Amino acid sequence: MTVLVEDTFAKIDELLSRLDKLHSSPAVALQVMQITRDSDFDIAEVQRCLECDPSLTGEILRLVNSSYYSLPRKVTAVGEAVSYLGRRSLRLAVLGFGLTKALAKGCPKVFHEQYWRRSLSMAAVARKLAERCGRHEVHPDTAFATGLLADLGMVVLAQLETETYLKVCQNTDHLVTQLREEHRQFGFTHVEVGLRILASWRLPEEMLCAVAEHHHCPPESDKLSQVVKVASVLAEVLWTPESPHMRILLPLLKTRLDLGVDDLISLANDCKQAVTESMEVFQVRIEGEIDIDAIQREARAIYEAAVFEAAANLDGRD
């Protein structure tokens, strides 16, 4: 088993060695993440750090001056922008712009939209689920960031193995068959590639575990892993009318997070708004629209059918 793991790592490391952006883009972003781990971080220290990366600085200034914040005047100073954003929003911005968005540049257009639709949806759903769980169980910031980063390995494969990987994405079900096909084609999966990157960036262990388990999450896993797993399924359901994954989602919501059909409809409404806001902040265009009515009809139909079947089984007992 150890030899197999080491062989997989070697294959992934060979792939990552071909990605120049991996070695150049995250340095300043990681420094900012390290500094802001402390809630009483020094704004001047963050400012000095950001000044070493004009591109990331520009993204931060654009964010704080966007309609997302609706400030009464334009902010042009980095230190002032950091003050306005605060620790939570700054960390999310750095994760998105400094790490994720930097690596996603250069991906084919068709993949780019698919990736951001899923990633922003996962992030938004994970945050909303965490808010329902309570901060003492899962912090919303951590949930958002984990959802955003969960499929990062897909970006690497799309850039470096473009033709083969686009066929994989187009011809597989992301939740059911994609990992198996990735392993058949490359000898590893996008989850393993992403974990190799995130571990090198020294992200918290709880985030790494949740990323590792967002396709296959045992019931005994911690709450963050459960939240991100549910977010992964709901991210697919939100954009797919009459999704076959609704039958997976409803039991997951109930058994893992004790949420029912009414909770799902409320959650879907919240997530629709959150995804729209995230698209504005990240400057990502996603075609299509989340159809809440369709989600509600499908969820209630499946729930009612399950209740009817349960009642019929009870009536059939001796």
pLDDT band at 3 (very low <50, low <70, confident <90, very high): very low
The yes-or-no verdict on residue 1 having pLDDT over 50 is no
Burial class (CB in 10 A: 0-12, 13-18, 19+), 76: exposed
* 68 has pLDDT over 60: yes
Q: Per mean pLDDT, which of 68-77, 227-236, 296-305 is the most reliable?
A: 227-236
Phi first, then psi: give them for residue 126, nearest 5 degrees.
Answer: -60, -40
Q: For residue 247, give the 3-state DSSP assignment.
A: helix
Backbone φ and ψ of 131, nearest 5°: -65, -35
Per the prediction, the chain carries an average pLDDT of 86
Highest mean pLDDT pick, 15-24, 103-112, 211-220? 211-220
Rounded to 10 degrees, what is the CA torsion of 38, 41, 47, 50?
0
Average pLDDT over residues 13-39: 77
State the Cα–Cα distance between residues 313 and 271, nearest whole angstrom. 36
Q: Is 96 a residue whose pLDDT tops 80?
A: no
8-state DSSP, 1? -
Question: In the predicted model, is pLDDT for residue 178 greater than 80?
Answer: yes
Question: Is residue 145 within 8 Å of residue 315, measured between CB atoms?
Answer: no
pLDDT at residue 86 above 90? Answer: no
- Give the model's pLDDT for residue 268: 94
Q: What is the pLDDT of residue 66?
A: 76
Whole-model pTM: value is 0.85
Residues 124-139: what's their mean pLDDT? 87
Work out the pLDDT band at 20, boundaries 50, 70, 90.
low
Nearest to 282 by CA among 79, 27, 18, 95: 95
Residues of each domain in the chain carrying CATH 1.10.3210.10: 107-318
Residues with Cβ within 8 Å of 152's Cβ and at least 6 positions away in sequence, in order, are 100, 103, 193, 194, 197, 198
**Residue 284 banded pLDDT, cuts 50, 70, 90:** confident
The class level of CATH for 107-318 reads mainly alpha
- What pLDDT, on a 0 to 100 scale, did the predictor assign at position 271? 92
Cα 237 from Cα 60, distance rounded (Å): 32
CA-based radius of gyration for the chain: 21
Extract the tokens encoding 307. Answer: 């209740």
**12-21, 219-228, 266-275, 288-297: lowest mean pLDDT where?**
12-21
What would the two tokens of residue 115 be?
């990736």
What pLDDT is stored for residue 310 in this prediction? 53
